[in-house]
Amino acid sequence: MDDGSREALRKQYGIKEDEIVFVYVGRMAKEKNIEELLWYQKSVQNNIKLVLVGDGPYRTTLEEKAKEYQVTDSVIFIGMVSPDEVARYYQIGDLFVSASTSETQGMTYDEALAGGVPLLCRKDDCLKEVVMEGKNGWQYENESMYLECIQKWKEFSEDEKRRMRNTAVRTADQFSKESFAKRVERVYLAALEERKRRNVYAA
């Protein structure tokens, strides 16, 4: 998506040109831990908008929590968008955020990276080979780490931010179907070799 349509979308939702945007894309369920992002928003809402794209059984609760935490002015609930539009909403963000620790495939992480959107995600085993700390994003374990990562992003020059976005795109290549197939093949062949060695030793 070109910069014009990105800016048009941000303008549509009342996002100012100088505001930082955190975007979450996905199902709104309790296990996604989106409430944590709302709580952290209390500390950063002066110049950061949190954009939540998607729907689910926990959305009403999250909207109530946003009111309770007094962050409604800095949180935007987009709701469900069509699959054809999802890529545009990734692009609205400066960083993709997630507090989930229940991901199995983590497709949204891969999609965000493919769109050149660095990650800011709660530390999770599924992200070991996904997040390159300080290069295509960060992982955090608590609020202080979350805020520290945000400060690093703010202090980056435009060139540093551009490099991080470019690295995000490059690292997303490893999740293409072709790369995935190659990784599976390598694991399979390694398993076969291990079985052969065990059979030899057993003999």
Residue indicated by tokens 């390694």: 190
DSSP state of 33: -
pLDDT band of residue 199 (cuts 50, 70, 90) is low
The model carries a pTM of 0.84
* 99-109 mean pLDDT: 79
User: Which pLDDT belongs to residue 31?
Assistant: 92
SS (H, E, C) 72-122: HHHEEEEECCCCCCHHHHHHCCCEEEECCCCCCCCHHHHHHHHCCCCEEEE
Within 13 A of 20's CA, how many CA atoms are on the CB side?
20
pLDDT digits (tens, 9 = 90+) for 142-188: 999 999 999 999 999 999 999 999 999 998 877 666 655 565 566 55
Query: For 27-46, what is each residue's pLDDT tens digit?
Result: 999 999 999 999 999 999 88
pLDDT at 193: 66
Q: At residue 70, what are phi and psi to the nearest 5 degrees?
A: 60, 45
pLDDT confidence of 198, banded at 50, 70, 90? low
CA dihedral for 66, 67, 69, 70, sign (positive or negative): positive
pLDDT at 102 > cutoff 80: no
Residue pair 6/91 in contact (Cβ under 8 Å)? The answer is: yes
The DSSP output letter for 114 is H
The structure tokens listed for 166 are: 């470019």
Better pLDDT: 195 or 117: 117
Q: Where are the beta strands (DSSP E) in the chain?
A: 20-25, 48-53, 75-79, 95-98, 119-122, 137-140
Alpha-carbon gap, residue 108 to 28, rounded angstroms: 13
- Phi first, then psi: what are they for 188, rounded to 5°? -65, -45
Distance between CA atoms of residues 165 and 10, nearest Å: 19
37: amino acid identity, one letter = L
Q: Contact at 8 Å (CB) between 108 and 25?
A: yes
Higher pLDDT: 9 or 77? It is: 77
